[in-house]
Amino acid sequence: MEGITMKRSKPTRRARTRALSLGATALLSGCLFPAVAWAQAGKARNVEDGKIEEIVVTAEKRAEGLQNIPIAITAVSGATLEKATVKDVSDLTQLVPSLQFGTRSTNIFIAVRGIGQAGQDIGSQSGVTVALDGVPLLHHFMMNAAFLDVERVEVLRGPQGTIAGRNATGGAININAKKPTDTTEGDMSFTVGNYSRIGVRGAVNAAISDQVAGRLSFLVDHADGWMKNGFLKRRNDNTELAQLRGQLLLKPSETLSVHALVEYTRDRSDPSFAQILGRADPNRPTFPETPGYAFPRNDIKHLTFYNDMPNQRDLESVRAVLTATAQLGDRATLTSTSGFIKHDIALTNIDVDATPRNEPFAGSFFPLIGINTKQFTQEFTLTTDLGSRADLVAGLFYMHGVSKEPLYFSFNVFPNYLIYLPTEKLDSYAAYAQFRYNLTDKLRVIAGGRYTIDDKSYLMDSTTAGVPLNRTGSGVFKAFTPRFAVDFTPTDQTLVYASVSRGFKSGGFNTLGDPSLPVNVFNPEFVWSYEAGVKATLFDRKLRLGLTGFYSDYSNLQQTVFRQNTTTTVFYPRVENSVTAKIKGVELEGEVAPVAGLKINGALTYLDSKFGYFCNNDPLYPNLPTAANCVGALRDGVALPPGARELTGNHLPQAPKWQYTLSAQYIFPISDTLEITARTDHKGQSRVFFDIYNNPQNSQAAYGLTNFSLSVGSQKKTWSLSGWIRNAFDKRYISSANAGSGVNAAITGSVGVPRMYGATLYTRF
């Protein structure tokens, strides 16, 4: 995270604010060429002069210095992403505090300050908004498979419901691609590594005319799988990825610009889907078909699992963004952002029980799981100065989305295919505004709000005997989410702020689970968050510090619980939200550039997350009866029903108590034309639980990951040759997990990426 020196003298504060407001026009649409906008858009400057880079962000729809925004935010430039070998969001946790990431099959789990996604299907959404080039995604699995030609990544922590978008009760992530410039240039990189990795990526930028510029970016990445299927004698978690992006920037006049982006992604990487990681009761019999299997933990040391299906995936995605920006006089700018995404995933030959065991489904077993999603978004944003002391951001937002999640299964015990065809539709409408007023040259007040209407409907169709056809559900969820803040600049380089904000995450549907039950609608999630912080850039930009304290009070928190079928012993996961939670913590960030060429970054997060009155049956013990009205029993001091487990005071999933990051980079010349760059990145965290029950078997103990890289290249940045190693000490860890019930009662999940190493040749032309 980089800072910019703050100077708020009486004659310059409004001038600077107005300039940054106009700069937002350039950043959002790419309407100016590199002499202005692209220098502001986050490109590093003064890397070797012993000062911290400046970076400008657009988190609040206008260009502002990172240290001038009264929000807990981390911004990482594209140059830093490359040097730290950060290739996707999962690697971003190496640089960003309070961020958690996990994957399983088609699902991506992102949590900020312990808040993420409860369900695993299309009926629920995350509390962390992810936006690509200004367009928020309906689901996290629609995210790009890799960071391609990225200008900047911004991670906002805490509720961001006013401006950043819908469902942001935990935070927001903005990923911005490099835009076309008026310079004809290009770059390419070639990568080789272990597991037969071969990768090529590049970008070509061209000034077509005085009014038109274009940019073409691409990547192709291949690697063999690093997980071994000991039953089928093949590998999974391989990489087969291709991505192509084209952009055009048109500036027909001095007051109008149009930016168009089209991107295509094809990903045939095969996931492991799930591996058995342990069992709640080590005395239960193991599977005799599984050679060498022992409980309570699978032997992930050798990266081996035993499934009787190969687990194959095919992903295809098309994304388009059209941004038009018009300057309305000297004080106002109107921006229109239109976005369309079509995202299709098909998984075939999936082993849903995570074992080679065929019983009780002996014989053919050919599941197909798909997710087909289309979304369209339209947003209008007006930024304007209101005299010498005030400014305003206001906008209108609309999203239409349709998600389908067909599931096909065939067992010998069923005469026909078992087919589920769930479909969810969304129409979301919102209006927002944020007003800022300078009471004095040093004191500013901020007030804003967003009113959201989410209209959702759901249809479950099925061909399975005994399962009702055309099960439907619908809901309209409305909320007003205000934000109030005050910031104070006691010195030119220091910002002190405090804020209170309300967050809202829309309700949804339990689309999967017990087919004998009607479609269940769960309610919206709400939070009131209180935050105070200080940001300082000191010693002529040699030291930057940021300290944030926060307290968040959640009501109707959406969490996955397990409910037992009324006629069987099987437990089904369901999202419910009759629970409260309180999350408080402290975040410390710092960066120092003590001498020319040397930079050291670090961050430390303390997070105390606890549920309020809460109880539920534990699926790891399926012989216990269903707990009825157990929350009421807790509140009234009545003994819990048999089988109920009190969860009051438990930690939230994906919320480690301690998290830290530490990076160091040193650039030094070895001749008049060559330089060497040495870099290391380390992150660590305390124990993290993957469920609401805080079962030790379903958790990951404290661990740390370390990366190293060393490169030699031209001081003019025209070429470089780098050697790199990620997870250098080959730490084995679990990135996500789930507890099952019934026949297997096993814990399944995903293993973190092992040691990866390789070399990259980069050239710029």
- pLDDT tens for 425-456 read 999 999 999 999 999 999 999 999 999 999 99
Query: Of 88-92, 221-225, 381-385, 756-760, which range is least confident?
Result: 88-92
CA separation, residue 280 to residues 422, 700, 749 (Å): 32, 15, 14
In the chain, the percentage of residues whose pLDDT exceeds 90 is 54
Q: What's the angle, vertex CA 106, arms to CA 575 and CA 272, rounded to 5?
A: 115
Query: Of 27-36, 76-85, 572-581, 734-743, which range is least confident?
Result: 27-36
- Assign 342 a pLDDT band (cuts: 50, 70, 90): very high
For residue 627, give the DSSP letter: P
Mean pLDDT of 475-498: 96
- Indicate the domain borders of the chain: 13-612+649-764
Query: Of 236-240, 350-354, 585-589, 622-626, which range is least confident?
Result: 622-626
**Nearest to 614, CA basis, from 528, 694, 521:** 694
Distance of alpha carbon 570 from its chain centroid, rounded? 32
In contact, 680 and 600? CB cutoff 8 Å: no
Sign of CA dihedral 176, 97, 67, 54: negative
Contacts of 284 (CB under 8 A, 6+ apart): 295, 745
Strands in 304-305's sheet, in edge-to-edge order, are 234-236, 227-229, 304-305
Report the distance separating Cα 22 and Cα 32, nearest Å: 10
Whole-number pLDDT of residue 253: 94
Write down the pTM of the prediction. Answer: 0.86
Q: Pairing mode, if any, of strands 197-207 and 212-223?
A: antiparallel
Whole-number pLDDT of residue 140: 87
pLDDT of 404 strictly over 60: yes
Mean pLDDT of 112-129: 84
In contact, 35 and 44? CB cutoff 8 Å: no
pLDDT of 739 strictly over 80: no
Q: Which two tokens stand for residue 624?
A: 């216990």
Selection from 14-23, 139-148, 194-203, 614-623 with the highest mean pLDDT: 194-203
Amino acid at position 515, single letter: P
Whole-number pLDDT of residue 735: 86
Higher pLDDT, 346 or 205: 205
φ and ψ of 663, to 5 deg: -135, 145
In contact, 511 and 458? CB cutoff 8 Å: yes
In contact, 583 and 607? CB cutoff 8 Å: yes
In contact, 452 and 430? CB cutoff 8 Å: yes
Please count the other Cβ atoms lying within 10 Å of the Cβ belonging to residue 632.
12
**Nearest to 711, CA basis, from 764, 761, 763, 765:** 761
**Nearest to 61, CA basis, from 380, 341, 503:** 380
In contact, 106 and 226? CB cutoff 8 Å: no
Report the distance separating Cα 212 and Cα 235, nearest Å: 47
Task: Name the fold adopted by 13-612+649-764.
Answer: Maltoporin; Chain A (2.40.170)
pLDDT of 541 strictly over 70: yes
What is the helix, strand, coil percentage profile of the chain, to 5?
A: 5, 55, 40
pLDDT of 725 strictly over 90: yes
For residue 636, give the DSSP letter: H
Contacts of 579 (CB under 8 A, 6+ apart): 556, 557, 559, 611, 612, 613, 614, 631
Q: Which two tokens stand for residue 755?
A: 């040691």
* β-sheet bridge partners, residue 437: 390, 445
